[in-house]
Amino acid sequence: MGFPLLSLIVFTPVAGAAVLMFLRRDDAVRWTALGVTILDLALCLAMLASFDTTTHEMQFIERHPWVPALGITYALGIDGISALFVFLTALLGWICVLASWAAIDRKVKEFMVSLLVMQALMLGVFCALDLFLFYVFWEAMLIPMYLIIGVWGGEGRVYAAFKFFLYTLAGSLLFLIGVIVLYFHGGKTFDILALTAQDLPFQVQSWLFFAFLIAFAVKVPMVPVHTWLPDAHVQAPTAGSIILAGVLLKMGAYGFLRFSLPMLPEASVHYSTLMMALSALAIVYGGLLALAQDDLKKLVAYSSISHMGFVTLGIFALNLRGLEGGILQMFNHGVTTGALFLLVGLIYERTHTRSMAEYGGLMKAAPFYTAFLALFVLSAMALPGTNSFVGELLVLSGGFAADLAVGATAVLGALLGAAYLLGMYRKVALGPASVGARFSIRDVNAREMVAILPLAAFVLWVGLYPKPFLNIIDASAKHLLMQVHSKGSGQ
Amino acid sequence: MTAAALFQSVLASLPEIVVITGACILLILGQFLRKGREPFLIWASVAVVLIAASVTLMLAGAAQPAYAGMFIADRFAVFFKFVFYLATVLTFLLSRRYAETEGIGSSEYYVLLLLALSGMMIMASATDLLSVYVGVELMAICTYVLTGFLRREQRSNEAALKYVILGSVSTGIFLYGVSLVYGLTGTTQLDAMAAAVTGDPLDPGLLLAVVFIVAGLVFKVGAVPFHMWIPDVYEGAPTTITAFMSVGPKAAGFAVILRVFLNPLVATSDVWIILAVLAVVTMALGSFVALVQDNFKRLLAYSSIAHAGFAIFGVVAGGADGIASVMLYLLIYSFMNLGIFATVIMMRNGDFSGEIIEDYAGFAKSRPGLALLMLLYLFSLAGIPPTAGFFAKFYVLVALVERGFVMLAVIAVLLSAIAAYFYIRIVMVIYMREPERAFEPALTPLVRVTLAFTAVGTIGIGLFPAWFLRLAQHSVLGG
């Protein structure tokens, strides 16, 4: 047990939040928050630099007793899958601070504190090696997110915050019961690794699978428990949307990867067709809904449902291409959709409308902005050369290998994606500038550029040279598949 | 009784004796106190409780039966007594300014609280139905009077009257059960009674007796169907007394329930079915009716019904973990509930009652620190980690699942998701509304101390539950 790097990564934002409490000037608050998040990112990069990609074992493990009477430990550790998301969370962290630099002009301190606490909790979720600890992080996220949506959100923020809170709470409480059942079946331990090594009877696995499914499906979100998402996205401030789309939605899929698949392999294999069918449904249904939207944020929100459908499809294809594609697609979705929300936020700040009907011809007024928009739209469409292409291709080939019908449906979803995304770009950026003239639109300024550029870089990097990213997840994904198939084949 | 046995008995009940003697002395002193010297009474009362607490600690070793088997000083009793001390001391600290605002000048207020405390202590230590009765009545009569302490307010008078009448009926029912037990078994000792009740075949008369006794006790913890008095009484009583009643007497009721019914009974009989139904209905009623409340005190009254329901789930689970889970729940509940009541009490200032939830609109804007505290207590009451409230619920659920009652656990969490709604609604009012008025909370140093103490408890037990969990597990009956 060496240097507690993971604890440092998780609790740096908390320490930063504590410092913020003592600051008075808004600008000092902003700069400090930015500094803290950048420091956190630096720590994450240091972690990645010494991360061993050749093994699937957990790394940087820390373990301390917490509630010994119940076998609860404070245990952190990461493998390839979590490493990618830890990095994604830290990457989006400072971008969120930049995104709310001017957009949040009241109660700045409270906002930044919520943001930093939120980041710490999200990092904790990805690092936790103890189910109880995981649950504490997982559930505690409700508090800052509720406040971020409810205090700094748009018109209907209170309703959206309530809905978000109750949906996720009800889902995760069932997960909690599942965790406790697992605890007793797994020999009274909350240790994730020990529980993974257990062999549970199929009957128990089935029940647990559905208890977990409810919690994770709400977070992903899968159809039909997705209805909180558009509300939350539309009402949340830009940074809130970025967090929601970028990281929070990944938690559900991460839950499948960390718990459902390895701990309940037989049930996972048994219900994989159901899960793929649900994923295909989400892909098409989300796409159709996105097609019908006029509100920019709603469009991106519904497209998230569709895109996350690809992720779960890849995961439950239960083959290596699908799994790696699904995981990579989670990262891609975080980058691309995070950027799209950022861009929507920027334009909303300037015009105070999100209705596409009121835009047009932005290309002349804001050439940089539209160029970036084009890049991210193409990325969301999974054009070759962009990040999503790699992920989506892997998912689709995995999906086809697993089930022809599901694969075919998913392709249909990809087609829909092209339709609504290009439609959106056309309405916003091209055409006559008649309405654009009504607003005085400034182009992207330097601060905003700083926030967007790294995301753009990742779009191209993953698109052109995905190897380093796939390397990180490769060993862990292979190991996960081996676990599922060796134990799940008994079914 | 020989002199040695008498000495032994007196020693075992020394904390009670300290409190009662202290109360009597203060009663007399209070008559000679000049006006404006009320703070002395508070400090003297706190001192009495602290002395009792230290005596309790000193006696906390082995279990000591006393008074010919009517009374026992064991770790179980010690644990509960500390919950009572906590509730009482914090009530004293909260009362100072509130009493001034409401014009409660008289010394009897403090004396009655001390006597109620002694009643609860006797309840926790009682091992005979008669000593249970003495404790229950001592506590109840004091709280009747305290409920009606706002003499000029009709609401308070009405609440007291309601409480007295319903309380006496419940006592009557309880006594009737006791007399039946005595008639059928010839004893009022709890052990003997438990043995008789678990014997086979069961006398239907005895079952009836048990039902009566349970009904009497359930009234005290406010579970359905004996909950009707709670909203009115909680609303009408002085807020400090409401805070006290929601924690102290409720815990005392649970202490008796655990001692009387748990050990042999739940494990061997089907009583758990009745208790399970009771728990589900209680929680459901508390949660659903709380949804539509506009009055903060009434909402907290229903919330306390819901929490009683959750604690009964722990009773249903039974066994060492079940008992420990109820005890831990009550301890944590006292911290967070006294905390939230402290914030309500502090709002009582001038013409501002602090009772209407809407009045808190925009509180976070003018008082961010206090709003954050309220947020903490409310999220804890809702059971969101990392607050203590989460751990309390978690441990009850563990006990339930351990016993194999997974369905009950599912029901419990779904109902608590509903309960979460109304706590979060208050957070919404505090944080997401525009303020309509200026806030001038009556933040005296004593209130600050109370708030700090309860906040530390609420977040501290949540983050480091290990020590408190061990404490509860060590204090379990027969442990």
Cα A43 from Cα A358, distance rounded (Å)? 43
Determine the pLDDT at residue A491. 44
Residue B128 forms part of a structural domain: no
pLDDT at residue number B105: 67
A177 vs B397, B402, B427: nearest CB: B397
| Integer Cα distance of A420 and A296 in angstroms | 11
Q: A208-233: b or e for each residue (b if 16 or more CB lie within 10 Å)?
A: bbebbbbbbbbbbbbbebbebbbbbb
Give a yes or no: residue B327 inside a domain: yes
Alpha-helical (H) ranges within A105-156 are 108-127, 131-140, 142-152
> What CA–CA distance (Å, rounded) separates B134 from B127?
12
> What's the number of domains chain B is made of?
1
* Cross-chain CB nearest to A166 (options B385, B394, B421): B421
> What are the tens digits of pLDDT across the range B345-377?
988 887 777 888 888 888 888 888 899 999 999
Does B261 reside within a domain? no
Residues of chain A that touch chain B, judged by Cβ-Cβ distance less than 8 Å: 65-70, 107, 110, 132, 135-136, 139-140, 142-143, 146-147, 150-151, 157-158, 161-162, 165-166, 169-170, 173-174, 176-177, 180-181, 183-184
For chain B, what is the mean pLDDT?
89
CA distances, B363 to each of B37, B107, B379, B431, B437 (Å): 34, 34, 17, 7, 9
Q: Do A161 and B432 touch (CB under 8 A)?
A: yes
Q: Read off the pLDDT band of B311 (50, 70, 90).
A: very high
Cβ count near A41 (within 10 Å): 21
User: pTM of the full predicted structure?
Assistant: 0.93
The angle subtended at Cα B168 by Cα B167 and Cα B172, nearest 5°, is: 120
Residue B450 lies in a domain: yes
> Which of B428, B430, B464, B471 would best serve as a mutation to test chain A binding (most A beta carbons within 10 A)?
B428
- Asked if residue B346 is part of any domain, the answer here is yes
CB–CB of A177 and B401 under 8 A? yes
The answer to whether the CB atoms of A184 and B397 lie below 8 A apart is no
Where would I find the H helices in A186-257?
192-196, 202-219, 228-235, 238-243, 249-255
Q: Is residue B147 part of a domain?
A: no
Let me know if A404 is exposed, middle or buried by CB neighbors in 10 A (0-12, 13-18, 19+): exposed
Under the phi-then-psi rule, with left for phi > 0, alpha for psi from -120 to 50, and beta for the rest, what region is B178?
alpha
Grade residue B250 by pLDDT with cuts at 50, 70 and 90.
very high
CB A236 within 8 Å of CB A160: yes
CA separation for the pair B433, A151 (Å, rounded): 9
**Do the beta carbons of residue A50 and residue A6 sit within 8 Å?**
no
- C-alpha–C-alpha distance, residues B242 and B118, integer Å: 18
| Cis upstream peptide for B386 (omega within 30°) | yes
Residue B384 and residue A147: Cβ atoms within 8 Å? no
Peptide bond before residue A221 is cis, with ω within 30 degrees of 0: yes
Q: Cβ–Cβ of B410/A177 closer than 8 Å?
A: yes
From B398's Cα to the closest Cα of chain A, the distance in A is 6
Distance separating alpha carbons of residues A22 and A124, to the nearest angstrom: 25
* Cα(B407)–Cα(A443) distance, integer angstroms: 58
Q: 3-state SS of chain B: helix, strand, coil percent to 5?
A: 80, 5, 20
Beta bridge partners of B126: B71
- The pLDDT of residue A57 is 87
Contact predicate A387/A336, CB 8 Å: yes
The model's pLDDT over B23-67, given as tens digits with 9 standing for 90+, comes to 999 999 888 877 767 788 889 999 999 999 999 999 887 888 888
A433/A366 Cα distance (integer angstroms): 11
- Secondary structure (DSSP) of A383-448: -TTSHHHHHHHHHHHHHHHH-HHHHHHHHHHHHHHHHHHHHHHHHHHSS--TTGGGS------HHH
Does the pLDDT of residue B89 top 90, yes or no? yes
Which residue segment(s) compose the domain that B376 sits in? Answer: 268-479
Q: Which amino acid is at B387?
A: T
Q: Does the beta-carbon distance from B386 to A140 stay under 8 Å?
A: yes
pLDDT digit string, tens, across residues B134-166:
999 999 999 999 999 888 888 899 999 999 999
The pLDDT score that the predictor gives to residue B284 is 94
Cβ of A173 and B417 within 8 Å? yes
| Cβ pair A43, A12 in contact under 8 A | yes
CB B271, CB B259: distance < 8 Å: no
Q: Which residue of A has its CA nearest to B394?
A: A176
User: Distance between CA B435 and CA B423 in Å, rounded?
Assistant: 19
**Residue contact A135–B385, C-beta within 8 A:** yes
CB contact under 8 A, A181 and B420: no
B280, part of any domain: yes
* Secondary structure letter of residue A75 according to DSSP: E
Q: Do residues A247 and A125 make contact, with C-beta atoms less than 8 angstroms apart?
A: no
| Comparison of pLDDT for B204 and A90, the residue scoring more | A90
Angle at B139 between CA B72 and CA B15, to 5 degrees: 40
CA distance A117 to A436: 38
Tens of pLDDT, residues B106-134:
788 899 999 999 999 999 999 999 999 99
How many helices, marked H, and strands, marked E, lie in chain A?
Answer: 23, 2
Cβ-defined contact of A69 to B470 (cutoff 8 Å):
yes
pLDDT tens track of chain A, all 491 residues? 468 889 999 999 999 999 988 888 888 889 999 999 999 999 999 999 998 888 888 889 899 999 998 989 999 999 989 999 999 999 999 999 988 888 888 888 889 999 999 999 999 999 999 999 999 999 999 899 999 998 888 888 888 888 888 888 888 888 999 999 999 988 888 998 888 888 888 888 999 999 999 889 988 888 888 888 888 888 888 888 999 888 988 999 999 999 999 899 999 999 999 999 999 999 999 999 998 888 888 898 899 899 999 999 999 998 999 999 999 999 999 999 999 999 988 888 888 888 887 777 777 778 888 889 999 999 998 888 899 999 999 999 999 998 888 888 888 888 898 899 998 888 888 877 655 455 566 778 888 888 899 999 999 999 999 898 998 998 999 999 888 888 766 54
A166 CB neighbours in chain B (<8 A) are 417, 420-421
Checking if the pLDDT of B254 tops 50, the result is: yes
By Cβ distance, the residue of B379, B386, B420 closest to A136 is B386
**Cα distance from N-terminal residue to C-terminal residue, chain A:** 39
Return the ∠ at Cα A410 (arms to A405 and A413), rounded to 5°. Answer: 135
Which residues in chain A have their CB less than 8 angstroms from residue B397's CB? 176-177, 180
Name the residue of chain B whose CA is nearest to A179's CA: B398
In angstroms, what CA-CA distances link A86 with A90, A92, A126, A455, B303? 6, 10, 6, 16, 39
Within 10 angstroms of residue A206's Cβ, the number of other Cβ atoms is: 16
Q: Which of B8, B253, B257, B11 is nearest to B119 (CA)?
A: B253
Whether residue B275 is contained in a domain is answered as yes
Task: Tell me the one-letter amino acid at A218.
Answer: V
Give B-chain residues touching A140 at CB under 8 angstroms. 384-386
Neighbours of A157 (CB within 10 A): 23
Count helices and strands (H / E) in chain B. 21, 2
Helix (H, G, I), strand (E, B) or coil at A67: strand
* Option in A69, A158, A169 nearest B469 (CB): A69
Test B420 with A177 for CB contact under 8 angstroms.
no
- Report the alpha-carbon distance of residue A112 to residue B253 in Å, rounded: 45
| Residue B23, both tokens | 């109360």
Q: CB neighbours of A471 closer than 8 A, spacing ≥ 6?
A: A53
Two tokens at B182? 């005595």
ipTM: 0.91
pLDDT at position A434: 55
Number of Cβ within 10 Å of residue A357's Cβ equals 10
Residues of A in contact with B384 (CB under 8 A): 139-140, 142-143, 169
Instruction: Say if CB A111 and CB A354 are below 8 A apart.
Output: no
Cβ contact A236:A148 at 8 Å: yes
Count of alpha carbons within 13 angstroms of residue B476, beta-carbon side: 21
Mean pLDDT, residues B199-205 taken together: 73
Query: Is B456's pLDDT higher than 70?
Result: yes
Of B379, B414, B432, the CB nearest to A170: B414
